[in-house]
Structures are given as C-alpha cells and as structure tokens.
Chains A and B, each alone.
Chain A
Amino acid sequence: MPALEGIEHVIVLMLENRSFDCMLGKLYPSDPSFEGLRGGENNVWLNQPVPVWSSTNTPLDSTSACIPDPDPGESFTDMTMQLFGQPPAPTATMAGFVQNYMAQTPMPASSRAPMHYFTPEQVPVISTLAKSFGVCDQWYASAPCQTWPNRFFTHTGTSQGFVNNDQFPIPFPAPSIFGLLSAAGRSWRVYFHDVPQSILLRDVWLRAPLHYRFFSTFLSDAINGTLPNYSFIEPHYFTDLFLNRIPNDQHPPHNVLYGEQLIAAVYNAVRNSPVWKKSLLVITYDEHGGCFDHMPPPAAVSPGGPLPQGFAFDRYGVRVPAVIVSPYMPPGSRVRAMPTGVPSPAAPHPFDHTSIIKTLRLLFNLGGPLTNRDAAAPDLLGPLSLIDPQNDGPATVTPVPATPTIAQLETRAAASPNGMQSALSQMAAQLPPQPLPPGAALPPPSAMVAPAQATVARAHLNAVSQVRAFLGL
C-alpha cells in the first residue's frame, strides 16, 4: 500500500445530518454499479406513493437549499421508525421516512420533504470532489442514532450503549483516538467554529487548550504546511448574530450552500498546502438526520461494553456521504469494501466512522483497536491505490456564492434549537469553568442537568461562553 508510506496528514471534515442519497444519490445516474438513486424509490403516505424528488432550481435558492424544513426526527425511536416503518417490519425496509416525518407535532406541511435530494449541479463542490477523487457508496453511520453516538463512534469506536444526545455522561469516558495519538507522540488538532462536540471526551480534557483551535487556524496551518498528523474539523453548529455567521453544518434545515463553502475552503486549503502530496482528506456526515436513503443498513459488529439502553449497536445507521480525497486516490473511484448489493451481516464489512480510527491506527502505528467495531472496520488505505501521489484533482473548487441576509440570521437565531444545539448547550454547563491544569484530577462523569435554552441565540451563548472559558480563549 503506497499510501501507508506516503500519507502523513489525515484531515476529517464531519458535517451533519444528510443521507447519501440526499447529497450524492444522483452522482453517477448511468452507472448501474453505483448504489445511487434510480428515480423510482418512494415511501407511502396515506396510501399514496411519495417518490424521491429534487427541486429544479440551479443554483439553489434559499428555500430549496434548506429542504427538509422542518427538521426530521432523529432520535433512536425516530430512526427505528424510518428504517422499519410503523408497524415495524422484521427487517429494515427504509419505508418509514415520510411516515415518521408526518408524525411530528405540529405536522409538517409537506410529506415530500424527507424524500428530497440534491443534484450534482446543485451541490457542485462535494460532487466535483467525489468525481475527481473517490466516493464511497458503502459508508454507513456507525449507529442508527443521533449525532453524539455517531460522533463518539468516530472518536472512540463506541457510544457505550447510549442512543441519544442528551443521555451521555460528561466527560465521556471511553478512550479515544486522540489519546492514542498523544500516547504515540503524534500531533493532532481539533479545528472548530463555535462549539466543538469532541470536547466532551474525557481523553482530551487535560490537553484541550493545546489541541483546540479555531477554523481560521486550520487555514493558516494548511497554507504554512504545519498541519498535524490528524486534523478533525467541526462545522459551525449555531447561528452567530454577533459575527453574522450562519451554520455551515448542513443540518436540516440549515442551508447546504454554506456547508459547500466550508468543504471548498477545506479542500482549497489542503490542495494548495505544501503537504498536499502527503494528505488524506475525508469528507463525511455523522448521520442521515431523517433524510431518505434507499439502502437498508446491514448488520454490524457490536463494539462490546455496557448496554444501558438495551440496544447492542449490532447494526449500522443509515448510509451517509463519504468523499475520499487524496493524490493517491484514482479519479472517479467508487470506494467499496465489499461486493455491491445489500451487504451480508458477515465480513467483509462496509465502511463506517470507525474506518477513520482503523486508518489512523494503521497509518501511525497506534497499536490495537479501541473496540470490536473499529477492529472489524475496513481501512481507507487500500483504495488509495496510486503508486505515486499523482492525482492532483482541481486546483481549487468554487462554491455557489451565498451570504445570509439579516432576516435569515435573525430567523435562525430566534428558532428553537435543534437536538444537537440543545445538547451542546446542556453539555457546556458541565465543562470546568477554566482549563484544567496539567496533572489535575479529572472529575467523574456526571449526567447533564442544565436546562435546554429556548432559542438558538441563548443556546449558542451558553455553549460558546463556557467552551471558551474552558479552553482559555
């Protein structure tokens, strides 16, 4: 594997809550081997088929770019209904997305919203990169759960049995990839915009001020060629009226064009960095967020450990987009770890977020697995098959111009926080009020108790204030 010798910098950008079909389902419409949308996929609502569809606006207008609006349900219960329908089928049929969407209170105006997808022309940045490098149509969220379980799987290979955002002990005690990197003397940084969700990891609490930087630092580190071995990038989760910033995480109903701008910024920085030839950039999403995908998630290896809420984490979540960018990746690659079609429950397994852990462990000699899940996960080094790092891809990618209006900023700030934003606000109240000194005793994990804030603006204030105090910013 040439990449094993050549890659020294891994960058992961994890966005929010979009399914594979939603973002890339129409990437290769004429390729029968590509597991994308054919056009006939549908759900049924009130005995009427609700097919997949796309708005005709290119470039996207601010309404189309925010579909589905309102935000679909994303709790473990919601996802179970989306996958198995109601009454539940014995196996996942992907027939319950519309059913679950219309079960919300108040009932959304349109049953079609969760069946919406974007065409490649509407999301040109991620589509261009997917075609110029590699797209994985077998990358599943690690668990059929909300953001936090999936992000914890990304960092630790487990969610320790918790299925929803607001139930985790803080700090989250599972050993993480950041701990392995530190122990091996490898450099890492988390680059964030407002509130880094990964700050909940017990592993990082003593090291956080040394490793957490704003996203602007990522851009300068890339240009200066000083990127660490592992960079994890967290998007803007909240609306910030003070800085006129709107979320770029693509979490419904946030405008996907701002996420496109973020992807472009990351790619352009890495592509034009002195370390480009030694880099691997993974662009993926934590979970599908209630957006339709037609591929039933296969069985998964349970990570092991406690199961406080009864779910064994023995099946994956819904498929999410994953674009693999590296000069070692042949252009136009379809990155797969197993035969096409509905995967079997046995090895070989598809990619999931723990493939990132597996790749980093192999690449940087970090030792054994964190859990059974990342032990079984396929790594990304095999698909990086070029002998020499010769695929330079486009020199830059250009996103669709979009700037939030004052009215849009104010609307978002006054809205009720989504599940992720509420949980981040509650989480922040558990953070120590200042950076922990080296060698300090870590507090035992405790349950989150702070009340959720009524608006995005208040949730943002709470989360940002306490995170900055903890990081000493």
Chain B
Amino acid sequence: MSRLGTRTTIGLLSLALASGALAQQATNPPGATKPVDITRLTIAIVVVIVAIAAIWLYGRRTTLLKDNLLPQIAPERQPYSLGRWQMAFWFVIIFDSFVAIYIARDDFNSLNPQALWLMGISAASGVSAVVVDVLKDSPADAANRGLKALGLQNYDDVERTRAEIAQREALLKTVPPPANAPQLAVEISDRELLLAAYERVIRPFVSQGWYKDLTTDTNGAALHRVQTLVWTIALGVVFIATVIANLTTGVATHLIMPQFDTSLLLLLGISNAGYIGFKYPEPQQ
C-alpha cells in the first residue's frame, strides 16, 4: 500500500475500530486474498464519488428523495423525506461498496446477509412511511384537495397559470390596447389571486433544507426523527469505514462488508419502528 493510501484510510479505520465492528473483521480468515492494486482502488473511489454525486444531484432536482405530498410543489422545492432518504442512503452505501469491491478485487461475491438486512429494514421503513402518509388525513391532504378544487392538480397547472398571466400581460402592452383589456385585467387579477393563495397554502410544505426536513415536522424538532437519522448515519459511517479498512487489507471478499450482529440490526429496526409509530400522529411538514 502506498503512503497516500495509508493516510486516506487511517481516520475512518480508527472509527471503525472504535465501533468494535471492525474487530470482528480484522482477523484474516483462511483464504484471504492479496492486498488491492492501487490503480484499481483509485478507480473504485472515483466511481463511488461519481455515483454519490449523481444520486445527490438527481435527488435535489427531482422527487427521488422527497415526500411529494403536494404534487403542486415544484420538485426542487419538495421537502426531503426521511424514509426515502434512508432507503437511498443504504442503497448508495451498499451499492457503492459492491462496485468498489468489484473494481478493486474483480470479485462480485461481496454481499452478505447483514447488508441485505440493512437494505430490507430501510426499504420496509420507506414503504411504511408511504403507507402512513396515504392512510392518514394530514394537513397536506387538505391542502392538496383545496388546490385541486382550485384547478391546480399538479405543478404543470401552476406553470400554466403563470404562463397565462404572462400572455395576458403581453397582450395588454400592445398599442393600441386590445378591446377586451378590462376583461384581461380581471383575468390577470383572478390568476394572481390564485397564485398568491397557492404560495400561502404550500408555504408550510416546502423544503426548509435537508437537515430541517429530516428532523422536524410542523411542530418543530422531532426526537423520533433525530434518533433515526443519528443511528442511520452512525451505522453508515461504521459500514463505510469497515469496507475501506478491509478493502485495503487482505480480508476475503465476502467478508469486506461489515457483519453487524443481531443487536445492531435490531437497534436500527427499533429506531425505524419508533419513527413510523410517531409518524402517524405527527403533523406533516
């Protein structure tokens, strides 16, 4: 291993060691492979970074990581969803680990049952969160019904209304003014009222930024959300650190991803169950 490789992994390696998870992995079992080729490792790191960046950028601009409770809100203004984000978080980590290991080791037999459990727990949480959103009649549902009754079914209708205002304003600027100018003015006023009401209605439901979206509801900070987020990130960091540490040593491919014991998986499950349980009565942001 080069000096550069050693420096980049030493911090995360320490964290993983501290968690105890790596201790289980540090012992090379029989059949350990040779240390990784630095070129392949570099390629793997680049691919992982590109994949993370792609998911993050795509998630910001679309509803990939968002709640989408009000289809009338532009995708980039939709609030982040804790359930979806958690699903994406584990997907990215495990997928990137898989890809990185494959590139570094030229071996795709890296997935273990614990990784699948992590994806399963997060997927179950994500699905449960969506089910709760569908089942409960939240303020967002009332806003959605109200906006639909006003003719705003989705964000396309908002953009169409804006275009109609611009079109009429352009007509009013013509010289001489059109004969139906008073009617056009009324129609503009009508649509401006609609958009003003739209902005007022959606205000509580637009994104306040990633961290606030994930940790608050309309009542403010929510402990069950913070707890889920913290445990998810903590286990994620341990997972990444373990993979990096093991990848740079001679651990066998099928043991590179951490093998969280039952207690840790149970911990994440309980945390997510708490989130879902509290989500039902919580006012939706």
Contact = CB atoms under 8 A, between A and B. Distances in A.
Interface of A: 240-244, 406, 409-410, 413-414, 429, 449-451, 455, 457-458, 461-462, 465-466
Interface in B132-170: 137, 142-143, 145-146, 149-151
A462 B190 contact: yes
Contacts of A410: 145, 149
Contact of A242 (B137, B143, B190, B193): B143
A243 B142 CA distance: 7
Given A241-B149, A413-B149, A465 B142 contact: no
A173 to B, nearest CB: 25
Contact of A241 (B145, B190, B193, B196): B145
A242 B142 CA distance: 5
B266 interface: no
Contacts of B146: 240-242, 413, 457
B142 A241 contact: yes
B145 A461 contact: no
5 contacts: A240-B146, A413-B145, A461-B150, A462-B193, A465-B196
Contacts of A409: 145
A461 B142 contact: no
Contacts of B150: 457-458, 461
A457 B197 CA distance: 12
Nearest to A414: B149
A451 B137 contact: no
B1 interface: no
Query: 8 shortest A-B CB distances, which residue pairs?
Result: A457-B149, A241-B146, A242-B146, A413-B149, A241-B145, A465-B193, A461-B197, A241-B149
Contact of A465 (B145, B149, B197): B197
B193 A466 contact: yes
Given A244-B142, A461-B193, A406 B149 contact: no
Contacts of B193: 461-462, 465-466
A242 B143 CA distance: 5
Contacts of A462: 190, 193
Interface of B: 137, 142-143, 145-146, 149-151, 186, 189-190, 193-194, 196-197, 201
A322 to B, nearest CB: 35
A242 B186 contact: no
Given A414-B149, A457-B146, A462-B190, A406 B137 contact: yes
A413 to B, nearest CB: 4
A406 B145 contact: yes
Contacts of A244: 142
Contacts of A449: 186
A240 B197 CA distance: 13
Nearest to B149: A457
B199 to A, nearest CB: 11
Nearest to B151: A458
Of B146, B150, B189, chain A has the most CB atoms within 10 Å of the CB of: B146
Contacts of A413: 145-146, 149
A450 B186 CA distance: 7
A472 B196 CA distance: 15
Contacts of A457: 146, 149-150
Nearest to B190: A462
Nearest to A456: B149
Among B186, B193, B197, chain A packs the most CB atoms within 10 A around the CB of B193
Nearest to A243: B142
A414 B150 CA distance: 9
Contact of A455 (B149, B189, B194): B149
A461 B149 CA distance: 10
Nearest to B201: A242
A408 to B, nearest CB: 12
Given A241-B145, A450-B186, A461-B194, 19 more contacts: A240-B146, A241-B142, A242-B146, A242-B201, A244-B142, A406-B137, A410-B149, A413-B145, A414-B149, A449-B186, A451-B190, A455-B149, A457-B146, A457-B149, A457-B150, A458-B151, A461-B193, A462-B190, A465-B196
B129 to A, nearest CB: 22
Nearest to A458: B150
A243 B150 CA distance: 14
Nearest to A465: B193
Contacts of B142: 241-244
B122 to A, nearest CB: 32
A449 B182 CA distance: 10
B228 to A, nearest CB: 30
A28 B38 CA distance: 98
A158 to B, nearest CB: 31
Contacts of B189: 429
Nearest to A242: B146
A414 B146 CA distance: 10
A406 B143 CA distance: 12
A465 to B, nearest CB: 5
A457 B143 CA distance: 12
B164 to A, nearest CB: 15
A32 B193 CA distance: 56
Nearest to A464: B197
Contacts of B186: 449-451
Contacts of A241: 142, 145-146, 149
A465 B151 CA distance: 17
Contacts of B190: 451, 462
A326 to B, nearest CB: 39
A409 B143 CA distance: 13
A400 B194 CA distance: 36
A388 B234 CA distance: 74
Nearest to B187: A451
Contacts of A466: 193
B195 to A, nearest CB: 11
A409 B137 CA distance: 13
Nearest to B145: A241
**Which of B149, B150, B189, B194 has the largest count of A CB atoms less than 10 A from its CB?**
B149
A240 B142 CA distance: 9
A457 B193 CA distance: 13
B141 to A, nearest CB: 8
Contacts of A450: 186
A388 to B, nearest CB: 49
Contacts of A458: 150-151, 194
B140 to A, nearest CB: 11
A448 B142 CA distance: 32
A410 B145 CA distance: 8
